[in-house]
């Protein structure tokens, strides 16, 4: 029974608002280049409008003939994507200006990418999953290479493009096999067929494995992680911040929707071994290699690989605990990463050069606000209380212990201890080292400082009052499993 068209349209109102805003910004860029300085603020206004629409409008469930499922989960993920987009646009304006690359296309593409991620978050059909993934990826290829005169930026764009095309091919081939085996593109039907005992059908197993492998590229988990350091390092910092949270969140939600229906942990031992292996390998390898990095952005790339390893544990554990832990982890990870990259943008002299830890030496007493926000976010990434990173890891490991995956929790805690070493190294450089003789010339920027501060305050506030976040995530999961 198809829903009436106004229900359909209202359900995707936030996406429509962002799309219209993208078109408007493109026209302004083309015909009113004098207004270029205001594009960042206009984009932020559109994001605020979309967030308002998401909060004010009802979540009707299945819409558009069952290809999208706008439920509480989708609304939650939409809001976190919009928050990440808002912070990205906020720091992007001054960042692009100081690199002499202020162009409206940046905001247009960022808005398009967010629309793609939001569609992925509510997609319950293979076609919408794939198209959402593409609309998320294609603008990001260009955004990575946005500094066209910088070799490392172009390299980042090319690498992400090649790896992304590879991942899309995996996903698409897997989807074709799943369609062949189940005769449907509807996730609910596919999940039902698999749950009814088709899990051992080789066609289904290979198809599912290829879809998961393609999503693993987007998540940058081992063994599909190799692109992350170069892309993180080369991309413009606001893009790195966006890239490090939004595609990962969208891919995790698709995995969650698949895993929830099939009850992955009880499906077959092979899947548990595969996902647990990916999680443990990501945590261990990510943290070990991060220890020897000299570039902060590369270090954060390896840290991101490790963090997605923790999040995969929550996906594997499943059930209401595991699913809500994934959501908590995503929110925490978004604020920590946005804050860390914004602070890094404040503390870097040249954006097309490596961001060495050595260059941060002694900045703790000279750029106090930036250093403090960076420290907050790094402590949180290391999982220390009272920051939100602790809450997130606690939620994940609690879910793992409660569902009989004690060994995964032990590995995770051991890895968190290991990770503290490299986060603390940056903080050590900030506060315990003298300023080098030729101190880097940093350009202050109010919007970037504001972005970093808001993100750091979010990290602190959600860490001090974790119940708000935990309850919200639990309520979302209860409402969709009911």
**Per-residue contact flags (x/-) with another protein for residues 47 to 76, judged by CB under 8 A:** -----------------xxxxx--------
φ and ψ at residue 356, rounded to 5 degrees? -75, 145
Q: Which of 32, 58, 148, 349 binds another protein (CB under 8 A)?
A: 148
- Applying CB under 8 A, the span of 134-142, 173-181, 342-350, 444-452 interacting with another protein comes to 134-142
Q: Considering the rule CB under 8 A, would residue 315 count as an interface residue with another protein? A: no
Q: Considering the rule CB under 8 A, would residue 134 count as an interface residue with another protein? A: yes
**Per-residue contact flags (x/-) with another protein for residues 94 to 113, judged by CB under 8 A:** ---------x-x--xx--xx
Beta carbon of residue 45, minimum distance to another protein (angstroms, whole number): 20
Q: Considering the rule CB under 8 A, would residue 135 count as an interface residue with another protein? A: yes
Beta carbon of residue 40, minimum distance to another protein (angstroms, whole number): 17
Q: Which of 138, 262, 290, 296 binds another protein (CB under 8 A)?
A: 138
Beta carbon of residue 452, minimum distance to another protein (angstroms, whole number): 28
By C-beta, is 21 or 276 nearer to another protein? 21
Closest CA to 261 of 186, 200, 154, 339: 186
Q: Considering the rule CB under 8 A, would residue 115 count as an interface residue with another protein? A: yes
Tokens of 307: 């963090």
CA atoms within 13 A of residue 366's CA, in its CB half-sphere: 20
Beta carbon of residue 7, minimum distance to another protein (angstroms, whole number): 13
Tokens of 400: 């793992």
CA dist 400 and 310 (Å) reads 10
By C-beta, is 36 or 367 nearer to another protein? 36
Q: Which of 46, 142, 259, 312 binds another protein (CB under 8 A)?
A: 142
Tokens of 359: 């260059």
By C-beta, is 22 or 305 nearer to another protein? 22
Q: Which of 8, 72, 201, 352 binds another protein (CB under 8 A)?
A: 8
Instruction: Give the helix/strand (H/E) hosting 266.
Output: helix 264-267
Angle, alpha carbons 176-178-179 (nearest 5°) = 65
Closest CA to 245 of 129, 85, 449: 85
Sign of CA dihedral 299, 300, 301, 306: positive
Q: Which of 73, 87, 117, 119 binds another protein (CB under 8 A)?
A: 119
By C-beta, is 142 or 378 nearer to another protein? 142
CB-based contact 83:337 (threshold 8 Å): no
- Applying CB under 8 A, the span of 119-127, 238-246, 371-379, 414-422 interacting with another protein comes to 119-127
Sign of CA dihedral 18, 62, 78, 222: negative
Q: Considering the rule CB under 8 A, would residue 302 count as an interface residue with another protein? A: no
- Count, residues near another protein per rule CB under 8 A: 34
Tokens of 110: 């960022």
By C-beta, is 188 or 457 nearer to another protein? 188
Q: Which of helix, strand or coil describes residue 355?
A: coil
CA dist 359 and 250 (Å) reads 34
- Applying CB under 8 A, the span of 142-150, 232-240, 316-324, 413-421 interacting with another protein comes to 142-150
By C-beta, is 127 or 432 nearer to another protein? 127
Beta carbon of residue 127, minimum distance to another protein (angstroms, whole number): 5
- Applying CB under 8 A, the span of 138-146, 210-218, 301-309, 406-414 interacting with another protein comes to 138-146
Closest CA to 164 of 215, 124, 238: 215
By C-beta, is 50 or 259 nearer to another protein? 50
Q: Considering the rule CB under 8 A, would residue 144 count as an interface residue with another protein? A: no
* 123: β partners: 68
Q: Which of helix, strand or coil describes residue 368?
A: helix
**Per-residue contact flags (x/-) with another protein for residues 23 to 52, judged by CB under 8 A:** ---x--------------------------
By C-beta, is 141 or 423 nearer to another protein? 141
CA dist 470 and 299 (Å) reads 29
Ranges within 201-230 binding another protein (CB under 8 A): none
Q: Considering the rule CB under 8 A, would residue 139 count as an interface residue with another protein? A: yes
Sign of CA dihedral 86, 335, 52, 327: positive
Q: Considering the rule CB under 8 A, would residue 131 count as an interface residue with another protein? A: yes
Q: Considering the rule CB under 8 A, would residue 423 count as an interface residue with another protein? A: no
Q: Considering the rule CB under 8 A, would residue 152 count as an interface residue with another protein? A: no
CA dist 87 and 302 (Å) reads 22
Q: Considering the rule CB under 8 A, would residue 19 count as an interface residue with another protein? A: yes
- Measured from the Cβ of residue 411, the count of other Cβ atoms closer than 10 Å reads 21
Tokens of 310: 């923790």
Residues that bind another protein (CB under 8 A): 2, 8, 12, 19, 26, 64-68, 103, 105, 108-109, 112-113, 115-116, 119, 125, 127-128, 131, 134-135, 138-139, 141-142, 145-146, 148-149, 157
């Amino acid at each position: 029974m198809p829903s009436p068209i106004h229900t359909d349209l209202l359900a995707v109102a936030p996406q429509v608002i962002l799309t219209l805003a993208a078109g408007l910004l493109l026209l302004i860029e083309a015909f009113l280049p004098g207004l270029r300085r205001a594009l960042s603020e206009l984009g932020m206004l559109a994001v605020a409008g979309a967030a308002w629409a998401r909060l004010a409008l009802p979540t009707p469930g299945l819409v558009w003939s069952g290809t999208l499922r706008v439920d509480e989960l989708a609304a939650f993920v939409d809001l976190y994507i919009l928050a990440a987009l808002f912070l990205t646009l906020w720091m992007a304006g001054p960042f692009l200006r100081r690199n002499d690359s202020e162009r409206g296309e940046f905001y247009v593409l960022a808005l398009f990418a967010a629309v793609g991620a939001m569609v992925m978050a509510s997609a319950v059909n293979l076609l919408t999953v794939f198209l959402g993934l593409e609309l998320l990826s294609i603008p990001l290829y260009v955004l990575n290479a946005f500094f066209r005169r910088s070799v490392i930026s172009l390299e980042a764009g090319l690498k992400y493009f090649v790896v992304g095309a590879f991942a899309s091919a995996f996903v698409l081939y897997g989807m074709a096999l799943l369609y062949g085996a189940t005769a449907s593109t509807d996730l609910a039907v596919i999940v039902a067929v698999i749950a009814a005992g088709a899990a051992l059908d080789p066609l289904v197993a290979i198809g599912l494995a290829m879809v998961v492998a393609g999503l693993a590229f987007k998540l940058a988990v081992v063994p599909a992680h190799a692109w992350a350091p170069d892309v993180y390092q080369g991309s413009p910092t606001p893009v790195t911040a966006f890239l490090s949270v939004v595609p990962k969140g969208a891919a995790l939600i698709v995995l969650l929707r698949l895993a929830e229906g099939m009850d992955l942990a009880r499906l077959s031992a092979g899947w548990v071994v595969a996902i647990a292996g990916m999680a443990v390998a990501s945590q261990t390898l990510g943290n070990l290699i991060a220890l020897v990095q000299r570039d902060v952005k590369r270090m954060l790339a390896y840290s991101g690989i490790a963090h997605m390893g923790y999040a995969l544990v929550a996906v594997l554990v499943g059930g209401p605990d595991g699913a809500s832990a994934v959501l908590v982890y995503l929110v925490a990870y978004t604020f920590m990463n946005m804050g860390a990259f914004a602070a890094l943008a404040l503390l870097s002299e040249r954006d097309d050069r490596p961001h060495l830890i050595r260059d941060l030496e002694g900045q703790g007493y000279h750029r106090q606000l930036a250093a403090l926000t960076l420290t907050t976010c790094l402590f949180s990434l290391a999982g220390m209380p009272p920051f939100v990173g602790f809450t997130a890891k606690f939620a994940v490991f609690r879910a793992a212990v409660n569902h009989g995956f004690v060994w995964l929790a032990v590995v995770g805690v051991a890895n968190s201890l290991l990770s503290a070493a490299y986060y603390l190294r940056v903080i050590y450089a900030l506060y315990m080292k003298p300023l080098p003789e030729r101190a880097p010339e940093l350009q202050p920027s109010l919007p970037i400082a504001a972005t970093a501060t808001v993100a750091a305050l979010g990290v602190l506030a959600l860490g001090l009052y974790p119940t708000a976040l935990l309850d919200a995530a639990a309520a979302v999961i209860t409402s969709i499993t009911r």
